[in-house]
Structure 1
Amino acid sequence: MAEDGRERLGIVAGGGGLPMIVANAAIEKGMEPVFARFSDGMTNDSIIGRSRAFAWGRTGDAIEWLKAEGVQKLVFCGTISSRPDFRSILPSFKTLKRLPRALRIVKGGDDRLLRNLSRYLESEGFDLLPVQAVAPELLAPEGVLTARTPTAEESAALDLAHRAATALGVLDAGQAVIASNERIIAMEGIEGTRAMMRRVAEYRAARKIGRGERLALVKAVKPGQDRRFDLPSIGVQTIDEAEAAGITAIGVSAGESLILGFDDVIDRANTAGLAVCGLGGEQGTAR
């Protein structure tokens, strides 16, 4: 608890603007944010407030610091480009004594890793919150969100991409797929959505994608995913990268995805002529 009596919220922060969005929402709820910055978060200049940066090898130090700061509730948010690799780092003593459990935590795909991590942190006395518990306004609403409605061809592409993203999520391999109405163009792997869209831009430049082939990007929550972590998200930069890749429609899981800066995202999409939808139901329909 802070000196002024406010409850402290621990934010395990990566890169991008989401950590500060969550922090500002926490402040509005009368909480004081405290940042433990990892990976991309170590150089995240947008983070303002009480914070410390930790290398993966000092994860144990971060846990002890958060406890010393009186943090009980934790939220994870922001981009993490590099997974923890405790086999190739020199850990601090506080991390070393936790190493056997740490090595078990980092096995598997992202969702498995985060589930393992959540169980460990709960055993350390922390209460893990989802981003949407702090900032529910970030959740994507259902339906067409832009001025333009998807064409029949784009709707078919959204449906195909959504079905593929769901299958991909079953494997805990990724959350995003790009498709036309006839075929899958790209599926997200460890490179992430941004690199996948750059790859699609290269495909189009190499004429591997038809000039009139309309593409849709879908970012979907994984079946059975722990909704406290790593919800699919889009921001203004997503719209910029989609436009560069020749993508004309974007769909996200309604109520289970985040739109970072809703008004700015929709304004940018309208300017670019993209259709953006919150997809509901098993078939990812945009009603």
Structure 2
Amino acid sequence: MTAGPEISATVGIIAGGGVLPFSVAEALRARGIAPFIFAVRGFCDPVRVTQFPHHWVALGQVGRLTRLIRSEGCRDIVFLGGMVRPALSDVRLDWGTVRAIPAIAAALRGGDDHLLTGVSRIFERHGFRVVGIGDVAPELLMPEGSLTRRVPDADALADIAKGRDLLRALGPFDVGQAVVVVDGHVVAVEDIEGTDALLARVARLREEKRIRAKAGRGVLVKTPKTSQDLRFDLPTLGPRTIDGIVAAGLAGIGTVAGHSLVAEADVMTAKADQAGLFVTGLPL
């Protein structure tokens, strides 16, 4: 792996939902780098964010956000956490946003990758450097090989290979990053609702007897999209993923090593071991 850029003394985390922004903030602290969280109202956890220096911002406050980032001395910023794509009517406009409306509107017309890349360019034009988790917290990237005691058997490896082939083919369409394959059959593909909803859908299919294979077979496969900007929206797994896999009756998960993120790895691995599942990092 090539060395990443030298990171500034304070890193700004533009934080949506989930645990990932806080996992990265803790990793930065452990490396002696100061995290500063810019918490997006309605998405970022209002309890956990109090553990870190932070400011609250609303969607659409580009001007306020850039001023705050600059005032806190953050050259490098990273976008983390889940967020629902907003309608323009839901965006609270400040003057900085008004000036950026043409760029924001153009970004909203594409898929998620197009949106994130477009938004990053707005901040880069203000002089900030947008970095990825691989730059600021590489220890959160999925390693190659199994994290769990259980490893995938031949049937699971065949399902993983099929899932990777499908995701590779779907990549140019910016559809999703995950698929469930059971005994060679593609049973569900991730859509705009995300991985948790994908696994819940598989659980319903099992309850409805639409999936005939017995529980404990089949895999969740997660990979980045073709030509994805790896600074943004890497496939992510954590303890909630394991809960979803258990409910869906699958054998485990395969995700690309070095190009996927693991949140709360110790908790996730313990849950997977307790449930007899595998979590494995796949070679690129």
TM-score w.r.t. the length of structure 1 is 0.90
Deviation of residue 229 (structure 1)?
0.9
Counterpart in the other structure of 2:176: 174
Q: Does the Cα contact within 8 Å between 1:9 and 1:31 map onto a contact in 2?
A: yes
AA of the residue aligned to 2:99: K
Identify which of 211, 217, 220 aligns with 1:217: 220
AA of the residue aligned to 1:66: I
Counterpart in the other structure of 1:108: 110
Give the 3-state SS of the residue equivalent to 2:55 in structure 1: strand
Please list the CA deviations of residues 156-180 of structure 1 after superposition, one character each: whole Å capped at 9, or x if unmatched: 1111112122222221111010111
Question: Is 1:155 equivalent to 2:118 in the alignment?
Answer: no
Counterpart in the other structure of 2:85: 83
Q: Does the Cα contact within 8 Å between 1:40 and 1:79 map onto a contact in 2?
A: no
Counterpart in the other structure of 1:275: 278
Please list the CA deviations of residues 37-74 of structure 1 after superposition, one character each: whole Å capped at 9, or x if unmatched: 22653444211222222221323321222122222110
Q: Find the aligned partners of 2:45 and 2:266 in 1 and give their Cα distance.
A: 27
Identify which of 231, 252, 255 aligns with 2:255: 252
Q: Find the aligned partners of 2:90 and 2:81 in 1 and give their Cα distance.
A: 24
Q: Kindly tell me: are residues 172 and 210 of structure 1, through their superposed partners in 2, closer, same or farther at Cα, counting changes over 3 Å?
A: same
Q: Find the aligned partners of 2:185 and 2:29 in 1 and give their Cα distance.
A: 46
TM-score w.r.t. the length of structure 2 is 0.90
Q: Kindly tell me: are residues 89 and 258 of structure 1, through their superposed partners in 2, closer, same or farther at Cα, counting changes over 3 Å?
A: closer
Q: Does the Cα contact within 8 Å between 2:143 and 2:258 map onto a contact in 1?
A: yes
Q: Does the Cα contact within 8 Å between 1:41 and 1:53 map onto a contact in 2?
A: no
Counterpart in the other structure of 1:190: 192
Identify which of 231, 236, 245 aligns with 1:233: 236
Q: Find the aligned partners of 1:106 and 1:8 in 2 and give their Cα distance.
A: 30
AA of the residue aligned to 1:174: G
Q: Find the aligned partners of 2:74 and 2:153 in 1 and give their Cα distance.
A: 49
Please list the CA deviations of residues 50-106 of structure 1 after superposition, one character each: whole Å capped at 9, or x if unmatched: 2222221323321222122222110111122x1132245442233222212221122
Deviation of residue 107 (structure 1)?
2.1
Counterpart in the other structure of 1:31: 33
Q: Does the Cα contact within 8 Å between 2:103 and 2:118 map onto a contact in 1?
A: no
RMSD (Å), alpha carbons: 1.8
Counterpart in the other structure of 1:285: none
Identify which of 92, 95, 98 aligns with 2:97: 95
Q: Find the aligned partners of 2:80 and 2:91 in 1 and give their Cα distance.
A: 24
Q: Kindly tell me: are residues 84 and 59 of structure 1, through their superposed partners in 2, closer, same or farther at Cα, counting changes over 3 Å?
A: farther
Deviation of residue 195 (structure 1)?
0.7
Q: Does the Cα contact within 8 Å between 1:16 and 1:44 map onto a contact in 2?
A: no
Q: Find the aligned partners of 2:186 and 2:48 in 1 and give their Cα distance.
A: 36
Q: Tell which deviates more after alignment, 89-98 or 125-134.
A: 89-98
Q: Kindly tell me: are residues 42 and 233 of structure 1, through their superposed partners in 2, closer, same or farther at Cα, counting changes over 3 Å?
A: closer
Q: Does the Cα contact within 8 Å between 1:54 and 1:62 map onto a contact in 2?
A: yes
Q: Which runs of 5+ in 2 are unaligned?
A: 1-7
AA of the residue aligned to 2:28: A
Q: Does the Cα contact within 8 Å between 1:8 and 1:33 map onto a contact in 2?
A: yes
Moved over 4 A (4+): none
Deviation of residue 262 (structure 1)?
2.1
Q: Kindly tell me: are residues 269 and 65 of structure 1, through their superposed partners in 2, closer, same or farther at Cα, counting changes over 3 Å?
A: same
AA of the residue aligned to 2:172: V
Q: Tell which deviates more after alignment, 23-32 or 130-139.
A: 23-32
Number of paired residues?
275
- Fraction of identical pairs, as percent: 38
Q: Find the aligned partners of 1:106 and 1:37 in 2 and give their Cα distance.
A: 21
Q: Which runs of 5+ in 1 are unaligned?
A: 1-5, 282-287
Please list the CA deviations of residues 90-132 of structure 1 after superposition, one character each: whole Å capped at 9, or x if unmatched: 4223322221222112221111111112222111100111112
Give the 3-state SS of the residue equivalent to 1:132 in structure 2: helix
Q: Does the Cα contact within 8 Å between 2:218 and 2:252 map onto a contact in 1?
A: yes
Please list the CA deviations of residues 131-174 of structure 1 after superposition, one character each: whole Å capped at 9, or x if unmatched: 12121111111123321121222111111112122222221111
